[in-house]
Structure 1
Amino acid sequence: MRRETQNILLVLLGGALLKIGVNGDYLRYVKPAQQPWVVAGGAVILLLGAVAIVRDVLAARQARTVTTGHGHHHPARSAWLLVVPVLAVFLVAPPALGSDSVIRTSAGAPRSAVAQDAAAFPPLPAGDVVPLTLTEFVTRAGWDSRGSLNGRTVRLSGFVVHGNEGVLLARMVIRCCAADAAPMTVRLASPQAARYPDDTWLEVTGQVVPGTAVAANGYTPDVTVTALRPIPAPQDAYEY
Structure 2
Amino acid sequence: MLSFKSLTIPKIQFYLRDRGIVANGYKQKDLASLAEAVEKLNIPYDPNFLADDVDSTIQDRLRRAGCSFSDPFTIGGYVEDFSGIPDFSLYDIFNYLLLQRSDYDKRKLKAYKSAEDYRLFYDGHVQELKVNYLTVDSSVCVFIGKVRPTQRAKTLTGKMTYQCWFVVEKTLGDVKAAYCECPGGADGACRHVAACLYELEAFEKKSVTDGPCQWKKRKREHDEPVEMERMKIIKTRFYT
TM-score range, shorter chain: under 0.3
**Which entry has the higher C-alpha Rg, 1 or 2?**
1
Under a length normalisation based on structure 1, what TM-score does the superposition of the two structures give? 0.27
Under a length normalisation based on structure 2, what TM-score does the superposition of the two structures give? 0.27
Larger fraction in strand:
1
Larger fraction in helix:
1
